Chains A and B, each alone.
Chain A
Amino acid sequence: AQTVTQSQPEMSVQEAETVTLSCTYDTSESDYYLFWYKQPPSRQMILVIRQEAYKQQNATENRFSVNFQKAAKSFSLKISDSQLGDAAMYFCAYSWGTSYGKLTFGQGTILTVHP
């Protein structure tokens, strides 16, 4: 069974600093995608970044980047120059080739940003 684990229930960071959120997953599939979703207090789920398993290069979206370690089945999210608006719950998620669009989510990490 595919599982996604986020071992950090809560993290905090000072404004303008860098923080890394951890995610590990378990799968026997070779064709899969990994995602980070952000859920601010408004409850709206927003896609932050996605990574294709076949791509060795780590995905980057502005201040957000990932460290994808395929052999270790690790997919961490790095937020650089943290801003107050980055405060949210962050979910790691996984989808595989024959999943018909289904997402498997981790437990979530609450990120607090201190001014």
Chain B
Amino acid sequence: NAGVTQTPKFQVLKTGQSMTLQCAQDMNHEYMSWYRQDPGMGLRLIHYSVGAGITDQGEVPNGYNVSRSTTEDFPLRLLSAAPSQTSVYFCASSPGTGPHNEQFFGPGTRLTVL
């Protein structure tokens, strides 16, 4: 199993550009989520999905869109990048939505918006 994979690993954008961060998992996990990591703030939840076709907002959803057309994939779209979106982005998955479940994280994407 590859686990949770993310592409790209690094990306530089100009303000106003759009892009999609890809996330895929091969563990047949129902639950997937996106977090951003900023210095001194830990990880904050952007969007999450409890199954194919179901998504919801997390703590910091503004400027980001998601969709979940398959169990395996959960892309994160930046519609018009802003410098405030410079961050490290992590995708995670878990077998279910219970609080006991371990979250499995991808390797992260470092995004810089100029």
Contact = CB atoms under 8 A, between A and B. Distances in A.
Interface of A: 4, 6, 9, 31-33, 42-45, 47, 50, 52, 91, 93, 95-97, 99-108
A99 B108 CA distance: 23
Contacts of B88: 43
Contacts of A100: 31, 48, 50, 56, 97
Interface residues of B, number: 28
Given A43-B88, A43-B108, A45-B90, A103 B100 contact: no
A101 B98 contact: yes
B48 A105 contact: no
A32 B98 CA distance: 10
Interface of B: 31, 33, 35, 40-45, 48, 50, 56, 58, 88, 90, 92, 94, 96-103, 105, 107-108
Contact of B43 (A47, A91, A96): A91
A102 B58 contact: yes
A99 B100 CA distance: 11
Contact of A107 (B33, B40, B48, B94): B40
Nearest to A6: B42
